[in-house]
Structures are given as structure tokens and as C-alpha cells.
């Protein structure tokens, strides 16, 4: 993105909501709405991956909806009421017989402006012999998706995508100044990899990374999410970080930080491969 275009962007006030979702969709959504009612005004509200339901594959299938379904429509109303953009970290999308883990961006007027289907599906073999494999329920998305939020060019990703730098390089080549990475990163991997990966994606591409994460234990599986929602600046500095409890982080992203970082070390101009 050219420096002149960066200068046209204004500061972006972002709230990251870190929650501990269970299998009860209504309870999860009511809790989110209740917490946001007490929050001051902002430009964008960012929710984690599977913020509305967390449980077994059967729970996800039961909550799957054609977009916009009941969950997304409720967030569309929230966005219009709050006059703020909403990053619906991920909802379970049903489309043509398939199920996707899909991130949705809603504008201040309550309109869907972008949807991204998670490309890289998580798989892990846990120490207790338990296997977690998202491909058992989800189909993989096939396309990167970008959106403009208040003039900020943004690249969309979800959780496990964070481990694949080529996705973020694609967004960077297309002018991204900000990456969204809503997540349900587990405690086991999160304690070793979460902050390192978030900051690495920021440093490599001299961009902001907004990464709201779930916390607490999945009540159906017992798997604990790492929490520690994070915002990294283009220098790789941590601008805001949560602990392991439900909370709201507030941070203002400053375009000047992009200009300073990219002028200091012109990495983006020095790329030779991709």
C-alpha cells in the first residue's frame, strides 16, 4: 500500500471481546450483548472463532446456518445498534450440503460486506490420544478474502491459518494494512506458539494483527483455550494483550505506526520472491 494512501486512513478504535463459549448459543450471544452494552463507542468489535457455540461436532452441525442466519442477523442488528463494524470471528455456515468455518464482516449499518471460509483446517494429536480434526466436519475454503474497514485494507484469516505465512504474504502483496485472526487457539499450543506467531505475521508484513481468542474450557471436550487475545503493531510490538479470563480489550490503531515502520526498514519494497 502506497504511503499516500496510508496517510488518508484515520485511527481505528477496536474492541476485542474474549469469551468462553459453551454449547448454548442463546446464552453465549446474550452474554456478548450484555458485556458490549456497558462498553463505550468504538469503530469495530472483534469476536473470536466459534464465539457463539463451542462443543462437539454435533453442536456445530446443529448451529450451522445459511448466511445470514439467526446468529449473523443478530450481529447485524448489534452492528447497526452500536454503529460499529463487527468481525464475527467465525460462524458455522451451511451451504450446498457442506459446512464451513466462516468469518463475516458487518458494517456500521448492519450489512455483510465480506465473508471468509477458513482455508487451513486444524488437526492435532493430543498427548491423551485424543485427535482433533476439523476436516471431520468442515470443508476447507479456497480463496483469500480482503475487505475495507473505514478505509483500512484488511486480510481475513482464522486461527490455524496463522501458521501459514503465505496467506498473509498474499494479503500484504495486495496492500493489506491489517490482518484479522479470530481464534480458538488451544492452551497447549498457545503457551508456546500464539504470541510468537501473531507477532511474526505482523513483523514480516509490517502490518497490524488483531487476534481475539477464546478462553476457558470447552464444556463438551474439556480442551482448554489459551485466551491471551492480542493486538500486534507493524513493528511487532504488543499493543494490547489479555489474560486467560473473559474480558474486552480496547486499542486504537494508528496509521502513523505503519508509515514509521515501513520507512524505517523498507522490507515490502525489497521482496524478491513472492
Supply the DSSP string of 226-263, one letter for each residue. Answer: E---EEE-TTS-EEEE--SS-EEEEEEE-HHHHHHHHH
SS3 of 31-74: the string is HHHHHHHCCCCCCEEECCCCCCCCCCHHHHHHHCECCCCHHHHH
Whether 7 is a known active-site residue: answer no
Taking only the tens of pLDDT, the chain with its 274 residues reads 666 677 789 999 999 999 999 999 999 999 999 999 988 999 999 999 999 999 999 999 999 999 999 999 999 999 999 999 999 999 999 999 999 999 999 999 999 999 999 999 999 887 777 778 999 999 999 999 999 999 999 999 999 999 999 999 999 999 999 999 999 999 989 999 999 999 999 999 999 999 999 999 999 999 999 999 999 999 999 999 999 999 999 999 999 999 999 999 999 999 888 7
Q: Which of 118, 154, 215, 246 is catalytic?
A: 118
Q: Which of 49, 93, 134, 246 is catalytic?
A: 49
Q: Which of 42, 134, 154, 159 is catalytic?
A: 159
Phi, psi of 163 (to 5 degrees): -85, 0
What pLDDT score does 179 carry? 99
Question: Which superfamily is assigned to 3-261 in CATH?
Answer: Carbon-nitrogen hydrolase (3.60.110.10)
**Cβ atoms within 10 Å of 142's Cβ, excluding its own:** 7
Whether 49 is a known active-site residue: answer yes
What pLDDT score does 2 carry? 66
Domain ranges of the chain: 3-261
What pLDDT score does 194 carry? 98
What pLDDT score does 128 carry? 75
Amino acid at each position: 500500500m502506497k504511503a499516500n494512501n496510508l496517510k488518508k486512513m484515520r485511527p481505528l478504535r477496536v474492541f476485542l471481546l474474549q469469551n468462553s463459549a459453551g454449547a448454548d448459543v442463546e446464552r453465549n450471544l446474550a452474554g456478548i450483548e450484555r458485556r458490549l452494552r456497558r462498553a463505550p463507542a468504538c469503530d469495530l468489535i472483534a469476536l473470536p472463532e466459534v464465539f457463539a457455540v463451542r462443543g462437539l461436532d454435533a453442536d456445530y452441525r446443529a448451529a450451522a446456518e445459511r448466511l445470514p442466519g439467526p446468529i449473523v442477523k443478530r450481529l447485524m442488528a448489534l452492528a447497526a445498534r452500536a454503529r460499529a463494524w463487527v468481525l464475527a470471528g467465525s460462524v458455522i455456515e451451511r451451504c450446498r450440503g457442506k459446512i464451513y468455518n466462516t468469518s463475516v464482516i458487518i458494517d456500521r449499518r448492519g450489512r455483510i460486506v465480506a465473508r471468509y471460509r477458513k482455508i487451513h483446517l486444524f488437526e492435532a494429536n493430543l498427548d491423551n490420544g485424543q485427535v482433533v480434526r476439523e476436516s471431520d466436519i468442515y470443508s476447507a475454503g479456497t480463496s483469500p478474502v480482503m475487505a475495507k474497514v473505514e478505509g483500512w485494507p484488511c486480510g481475513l484469516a482464522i486461527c490455524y491459518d496463522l501458521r501459514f505465512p503465505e496467506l498473509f504474504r498474499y494479503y500484504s502483496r495486495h496492500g493489506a494494512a491489517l490482518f484479522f485472526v479470530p481464534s480458538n487457539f488451544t492452551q497447549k499450543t498457545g503457551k508456546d506458539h500464539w504470541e510468537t506467531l501473531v507477532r511474526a505475521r505482523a513483523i514480516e508484513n509490517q502490518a497490524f494483527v488483531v487476534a481475539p481468542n477464546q478462553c476457558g474450557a470447552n464444556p463438551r471436550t474439556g480442551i482448554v483455550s489459551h485466551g491471551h487475545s492480542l493486538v500486534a503493531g507493524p513493528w511487532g510490538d504488543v499493543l494490547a494483550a489479555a489474560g486467560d479470563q473473559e474480558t474486552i480489550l480496547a486499542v486504537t490503531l494508528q496509521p502513523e505506526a505503519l508509515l514509521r515502520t515501513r520507512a524505517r526498514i523498507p522490507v515490502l519494497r525489497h521482496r524478491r520472491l513472492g
